[in-house]
Every structure is written in structure tokens, then in C-alpha cells.
């Protein structure tokens, strides 16, 4: 396995809902464990739900699915082993309707969003402590994470002050533009 492959594998697993993944190359061993808590899975998919989806009714020719945001694992590919009853093109439409539940709960919080596309890192290196963790109070201009793109490690500074309520993205996960990274309680 090349490094790039390994990298991709790691990203893939990271993006996934697997709780465990083991592998052995000599005589090949593999052991995968998935997340049992279905609820969490749904939540994770639902959270990213965009305000756009609130835009009440565009009754489109196509029922537009809430667009995949933040970046989520590719829909089932047609090329390798396509589940024919659910082609990639239709896949989004078949996702269960996402609720705005989380959104409402969290609506009193402010969001720090990613200003660029790249890979999200909570700390400057694996040994270091995260820039910001739940419970921390942050100030305007404080670095809260790094988003790496094209080998540049961009320090993301908070434009708001408050207490970190939630970290919305896992470490080393890819993020899109405008994706919510942190929830901040301005009164915290």
C-alpha cells in the first residue's frame, strides 16, 4: 500500500462511522467495527443541514435534497458495484428528510465557519493540545484550529468571543467552505 493510498484510507475511515478498523498485511487480516449508535449517525448527517434547506418551498422539478454539506463521503458509486435500485444520481433524494432539530437546540449559539476548503486540524501537531476544546473561552482573533490546504497550514482565527460549546468536525477531517467548525456560546 502506498502512502497516498494509506492517506486516503485513513481519511475514508475517519469520515466514516466506523468505530474500529484493524488490518494486518502479512497474510492479510482485517477487523472493522462500526458505530452501534444509529442515533449518532443520523445526528452527524443532520447537523450540517444548511439554512438553505429552510428556504421554504422551492418546489422544484426535482425535489432537491439538502445539499451535502459539510463534505460527506461520496454517495454510492455507480462504477464499482452499483446498487441499481439506488443510483448515485438519485441517492441524495432518498436520504431521509433531515430534521432541523439540532439546529433549533443550538440556535442560541454562534458558529465559527471554515473560510476555506481543506483539512481540519485541532492542533498544530498530533502531540500538541487542541487550540480550542469544549468549555474553553475564546476571544476574537484567537486561533481555534488549522485548515490545511495545498500544504499551507492556515490558522483560523475566531471572529467572535464566547465559550466553545461543541466542536463540529473531527480532527484531520476534510472541511468545505462555510462548514460549521465550532459552536460558540456568546454568553458563556
From residue 69 to residue 108, the character string flagging contacts with other proteins as x (rule: CB under 8 A) and all else as - is: x-x--xx-xxxxxxxxx-xxxx-xx---------------
- The 3-state secondary structure of the chain reads CCHHHHHHHHHHHHHCCEEEEEEECCCCEEEEEECCCHHHHHHHHHCCCCHHHHCCCCCCCCCCCCCCCCCCCCCCCCCCCCCCCCCCCCHHHHCCCCCCHHHHHCCCCEEEECCCCEEEECCCCCCCCCCCCCCCEECCCCEEEEEEECCEEEEEECCCCEEEEEECCCCCEEECCCCEEEEEECCC
Chain-centre distance for alpha carbon 116 = 14
Residue 128 interacting with a second copy (CB under 8 A): no
* Residue 140 binds which entry of a second copy, other proteins, none, CB below 5-8 Å type-dependent: none
* Residue 19 binds which entry of a second copy, other proteins, none, CB below 5-8 Å type-dependent: a second copy
| Contact (CB, 8 A) for 115 and 88 | no
How far apart CA 96 and CA 64 sit, in angstroms, is 12
Which range binds other proteins by CB under 8 A, 31-39, 44-52, 97-105, 158-166?
Answer: 44-52
From residue 64 to residue 103, the character string flagging contacts with a second copy as x (rule: CB under 8 A) and all else as - is: ---------x--xx--xx-----------xxxxx------
Shortest spacing between CB 58 and other proteins, in angstroms: 4
Nearer to other proteins, 63 or 137 (CB): 63
* Residue 104 binds which entry of a second copy, other proteins, none, CB below 5-8 Å type-dependent: none
Residues that bind other proteins (CB under 8 A): 4, 8, 11, 50-52, 55, 58-65, 67-69, 71, 74-75, 77-85, 87-90, 92-93, 116-119, 149-150, 152, 174-179
Residues that bind a second copy (CB under 8 A): 1, 3-38, 40, 44, 47-49, 51-52, 54-55, 57-61, 63, 73, 76-77, 80-81, 93-97
Amino acid at each position: 500500500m502506498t502512502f497516498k493510498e494509506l492517506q486516503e484510507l485513513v481519511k475514508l475511515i475517519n469520515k466514516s462511522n466506523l468505530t474500529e478498523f484493524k488490518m494486518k498485511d502479512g497474510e492479510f487480516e482485517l477487523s472493522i467495527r462500526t458505530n452501534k449508535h444509529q442515533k449518532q449517525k443520523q445526528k452527524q448527517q443532520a447537523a450540517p443541514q444548511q439554512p438553505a434547506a429552510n428556504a421554504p418551498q422551492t418546489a422544484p422539478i426535482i425535489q432537491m435534497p439538502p445539499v451535502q454539506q459539510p463534505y460527506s463521503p461520496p454517495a454510492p458509486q455507480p462504477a464499482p458495484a452499483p446498487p441499481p435500485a439506488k443510483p448515485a444520481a438519485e441517492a441524495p433524494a432518498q436520504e431521509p428528510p433531515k430534521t432541523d432539530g439540532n439546529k433549533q437546540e443550538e440556535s442560541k449559539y454562534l458558529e465559527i465557519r471554515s473560510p476555506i476548503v481543506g483539512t481540519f486540524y485541532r492542533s498544530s501537531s498530533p502531540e500538541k493540545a487542541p487550540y480550542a476544546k469544549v468549555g474553553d473561552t475564546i476571544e476574537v482573533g484567537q486561533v481555534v484550529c488549522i485548515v490545511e490546504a495545498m500544504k499551507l497550514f492556515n490558522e483560523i482565527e475566531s471572529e467572535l468571543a464566547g465559550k466553545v460549546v461543541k466542536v463540529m468536525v473531527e480532527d484531520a477531517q476534510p472541511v468545505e467552505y462555510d462548514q460549521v467548525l465550532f459552536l460558540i456560546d456568546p454568553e458563556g
